[in-house]
Chains A and B, each alone.
Chain A
Amino acid sequence: MKVPDGAREDRIVLGVQISIVICFYFFTAGFFAFLWHAVYRSVADNDHPVHAVVLASVITIAFLILASVMTMVFSVIIREGRKKFPANGGLANETEIK
């Protein structure tokens, strides 16, 4: 079945948008790996593990907040935009901002 050009382009745009979020998750996951690898080594070497756990925990919480905000904003805006205008966004000012 032949897919119309507009729909194909729409799918590509959506794909790139989802890729941005996935890249952010990868970055976050990589950063967690770096943090907790350092914690693991400090525990293994008995090199002040409590300091390491406390510091890594604080940063982990900060990154979890960032990831949650990104997920919330991306998922709601993309989903809502597609619901309203299937062709990936319509006019920018539907309600309040004229």
Chain B
Amino acid sequence: MEVVKPDGRLAQGERSAAAGDEILYRPIMKTGRGFYTVFALLSLVVLVAAYAYFTQFRDGLGVTGLNSPVFWGVYITNFVFFIGVSHAGTLISAILRISKAEWRRSITRSAEVITVLVLFFGLGNILIDLGRIDRVLKVIAHGRFQSPLLWDVVSITTYLTASSVYLYLPLIPDIALLRDRMKGGFRKRLYQVLALGWAGTEKQIHYLEKGIGIMAVTVLPIAVSVHTVVSYVFSMTVQPMWHSAIFGPYFVAGAIFSGIAAIIVAMAILRKVYRLEDYFREVHFNNLGILLLVMTCLWLYFTFSEYLTVFYGAKPDEIKVFMEKISGRYAPHFWFMVVTCFVIPFTILANNRTRTIKGTVIASVSVNIGMWLERFTIVVPTLMHPRLPYETGSYSATWVEWAILAGCFALFALIYMIFTKLFPIVSIWEVQEGRQKAQGEVAERLKTYLPA
């Protein structure tokens, strides 16, 4: 066991461990050919998506599969999915930080970045769905608080701001480390500005930790409210299979579910690409895998409750949508969702032998596919059978929508990659602080709740 010296200086073992942290600077200091190749490939996908959007902008929403009465499709599915994934970072990082889970130290940053980025994609899909982007000004000029859509605008803006601050504050000491390493040039100046003159004095550390603590507590209710409000966009209408009291918690649970899955996938890629095996260890995947297992069961419980209630009530409007999902046109989507959200992850994660890094990643990819399908099967079948006496609608997404979906994922990966080239993807100071203090603190904490 490494000894923490009373004056806070590093013991020998820790010094060598700190030297090992050099690997965390490597992606920032050096850029290999692989980066440029992936960058070019992703840029190509983004360009195709940009062309698709340009086509839609020029010719109108007629180039999509959207119609009357199915006026929401892939874009709104993306919106709900991305907002859900955004719960990855802030919520999970905040929960782990507040509960003082020491294993969080190397994973929080990668999760917090996901949150901030995907929120932009969530909002972006709404703008794309509007068709004419200038219509967003109407929300600003004529927004009414009676509309859940305005609640969305307000809560997502608050969440985005809070998440950005929550991402930035723990970055400050790491930016200062980078500032000290850079010899000169634009990056040196960028780090100089963003480090705010950080020198690691006691007062600075005290206030920074205070700020992070306040943000961790503040961001939790905001994050829960965001996905609850997203669910209200559906449940506050009287459409069949939308007007449900459990939609709020159902959406929040689903968001945390897909969020955890997204973190696992991101961690696995970073681990492989930047050789961060020492930072994203088996134990991290195992712990997150257990969390994912719990959420899998919770998801099944919510889904079962929701569908059983509709089936047992058998109201004519609702049963049409229900049958459309169970045995109709959207049955393949629905059953594939059940397999990917429950059967695959549960089978893998419930077994100690298969809950390996590889197993956890397979389960997470499966969950993310399943959760996208879940959002899709919530949005589309209901609109096909609206409560009002419309003709039964149909919806088939066009290449424009698929290209924009692919572009969203590619652009997300691209910006994430750029982030890793500018800032450490593992919080260096928190890892080092953990080495210095965590063992002592955990020992103290144990004393407080174990019998003498």
- Residues of chain A having any CB pair with chain B under 8 Å: 13, 16-17, 20, 27, 31, 34-35, 38-39, 41-42, 47-48, 51-52, 55-56, 59, 62-63, 65-66, 69-70, 72-74, 76-78, 80-82, 84-85, 88-98
Q: Which of chain B's residues have a CB closer than 8 A to the CB of A27? A: 161
Q: Which of chain B's residues have a CB closer than 8 A to the CB of A13? A: 189, 192-193
- Classify chain B: how many residues form its interface, as a range: 35 or more
B144: contacting residue among A47, A65, A88, A91, CB under 8 A:
A47
A77, B146: Cβ atoms under 8 Å? Answer: no
B10 at the interface (CB under 8 A from A): yes
B222 at the interface (CB under 8 A from A): yes
Tell which of B172-180, B236-244, B262-270 binds the partner: B172-180
Q: Which of chain B's residues have a CB closer than 8 A to the CB of A88? A: 192, 197
List residues 427-449 of chain B with CB under 8 A from any CB of chain A.
429, 432-433, 436
Q: Could you list some 14 contacts between A and B, CB below 8 A?
A: A17-B197, A42-B144, A47-B144, A52-B145, A66-B218, A73-B169, A73-B211, A76-B203, A80-B199, A81-B197, A84-B201, A89-B176, A91-B199, A94-B201
B207, A77: Cβ atoms under 8 Å? Answer: yes
A95, B202: Cβ atoms under 8 Å? Answer: yes
A92: contacting residue among B10, B146, B165, B180, CB under 8 A:
B180
A81, B196: Cβ atoms under 8 Å? Answer: yes
Smallest CB-CB separation from A82: which chain B residue? B197
**Whole-angstrom distance from the CB of B120 to the nearest CB of chain A?**
15
Q: What is the interface of chain B mostly: helix, strand, loop, or mixed?
A: helix
Q: Which of chain A's residues have a CB closer than 8 A to the CB of B286? A: none
Besides A56-B145, A59-B154, A77-B204, 4 new A-B residue pairs in contact (Cβ under 8 A), listed by A number: A38-B144, A77-B208, A90-B199, A92-B177
**Whole-angstrom distance from the CB of A83 to the nearest CB of chain B?**
9
**Whole-angstrom distance from the CB of A74 to the nearest CB of chain B?**
6
Give CA–CA (A91, B179) in the complex, Å. 9
Give CA–CA (A93, B154) in the complex, Å. 39
Give CA–CA (A20, B150) in the complex, Å. 28
**Whole-angstrom distance from the CB of A10 to the nearest CB of chain B?**
9
Known: A38-B143, A38-B150, A51-B145. A94 touches B158 (CB 8 A): no
B140, A94: Cβ atoms under 8 Å? Answer: no
B215 at the interface (CB under 8 A from A): yes
B215: contacting residue among A69, A80, A91, A95, CB under 8 A:
A69
Q: Which of chain B's residues have a CB closer than 8 A to the CB of A70? A: 165
Q: Which of chain A's residues have a CB closer than 8 A to the CB of B199? A: 80-81, 84-85, 89-92, 94
Give CA–CA (A94, B210) in the complex, Å. 19
B260 at the interface (CB under 8 A from A): no
Give CA–CA (A98, B9) in the complex, Å. 7
Q: Which of chain B's residues have a CB closer than 8 A to the CB of A94? A: 199-201
Smallest CB-CB separation from A56: which chain B residue? B145
B101 at the interface (CB under 8 A from A): no
B8, A89: Cβ atoms under 8 Å? Answer: no
Smallest CB-CB separation from A19: which chain B residue? B193
Smallest CB-CB separation from A35: which chain B residue? B154
B158, A77: Cβ atoms under 8 Å? Answer: no
Give CA–CA (A28, B180) in the complex, Å. 32
Known: A74-B196, A77-B204, A81-B204. A97 touches B151 (CB 8 A): no
Q: Which of chain A's residues have a CB closer than 8 A to the CB of B150? A: 38
Give CA–CA (A61, B212) in the complex, Å. 18
Q: Which of chain B's residues have a CB closer than 8 A to the CB of A51? A: 145-146
Q: Which of chain B's residues have a CB closer than 8 A to the CB of A96? A: 8, 200, 202, 205, 433, 436
B208: contacting residue among A73, A84, A95, CB under 8 A:
A73
A97, B207: Cβ atoms under 8 Å? Answer: no
Q: Which of chain B's residues have a CB closer than 8 A to the CB of A66? A: 158, 161-162, 165, 218
List residues 256-304 of chain B with CB under 8 A from any CB of chain A.
none
